[in-house]
């Protein structure tokens, strides 16, 4: 039986103007330099980790044409589809990076990001899996390094337990101050400004709550 090969792996090469890849550690230096060079043309640099199929990222890029929006996503199909949609919309202020989100501090230099979004990362609900969660002590340490002073981190999840664990970890960091949080985003003061993701639309259609927080990095 022939080994199945993901057809979207080679297709990423069709979008070199939008897609960068970290397949090996040796790729990091070139990726970091490419992002640094492109960011010089923009007033702000914003990152979305786990950018999925790009609904949130593309709308963010449309609303903020003076910002470079960097999406980090691991799945080949999702990142390619996002690139297709970006081309259809004529959006050029985007970089799509096929990489692990845990490499955040290897990808960006210190104090280079104005905003970081993390929408609906896998909650890994079983106890033995919780160590796999993205938003952890180590990830928050990376965030505190790459965010500019007064830059912010935005997090949405459908898991109350995950949400509460992130709030708890943030409370231990003097580098962060939680400036907004809600157990039901749709009924909060931040509902209108929120850009919905594909998951968010699904959960809202089912009447399920979305947990939301925004944490600001304190000035040094």
Q: ∠ CA(187), CA(197), CA(148), 5° rounding?
A: 90
Is 15 strand, coil or helix? coil
Asked if 163 and 213 count as a contact pair (C-beta separation under 8 A), the reply is: yes
Evaluated on CA atoms 138, 162, 119, 191, the torsion sign reads negative
Dihedral angle over CA of 218, 137, 47, 124, nearest 10: -140
Q: Which of 122, 150, 158, 192 is catalytic?
A: 122
Asked about 150 being catalytic, the answer comes back as: no
To the nearest 10 degrees (0 to 180), the angle between helices 137-146 and 160-171 is 60
User: Which residues are known to be catalytic?
Assistant: 122
């Amino acid at each position: 039986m022939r080994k199945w090969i993901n057809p979207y792996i080679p297709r990423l090469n069709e979008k070199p103007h939008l897609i960068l890849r970290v397949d090996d550690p040796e790729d990091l230096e070139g990726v970091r330099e490419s992002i640094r060079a492109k960011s010089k043309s923009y007033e702000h640099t914003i990152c979305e980790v786990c950018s999925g199929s790009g609904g949130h990222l593309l709308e963010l890029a449309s609303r903020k044409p003076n910002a470079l929006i960097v999406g980090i996503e691991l799945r080949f199909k999702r990142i390619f589809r996002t690139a297709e949609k970006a081309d259809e919309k004529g959006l050029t202020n985007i970089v799509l990076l096929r990489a692990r989100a845990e490499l955040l501090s290897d990808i960006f230099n210190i104090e280079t990001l104005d905003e970081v979004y993390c929408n609906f990362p896998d909650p890994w609900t079983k106890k033995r899996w919780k160590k796999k969660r993205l938003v952890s002590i180590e990830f928050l340490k990376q965030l505190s390094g790459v965010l500019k002073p007064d830059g912010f981190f935005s997090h949405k999840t459908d898991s109350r337990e995950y949400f509460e664990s992130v709030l708890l970890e943030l409370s231990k960091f003097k580098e962060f101050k939680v400036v907004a949080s809600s157990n039901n985003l749709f009924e909060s003061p931040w509902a209108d400004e929120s850009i919905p993701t594909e998951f968010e639309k699904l959960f809202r259609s089912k009447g399920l709550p979305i947990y939301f927080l925004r944490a600001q990095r304190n000035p040094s």
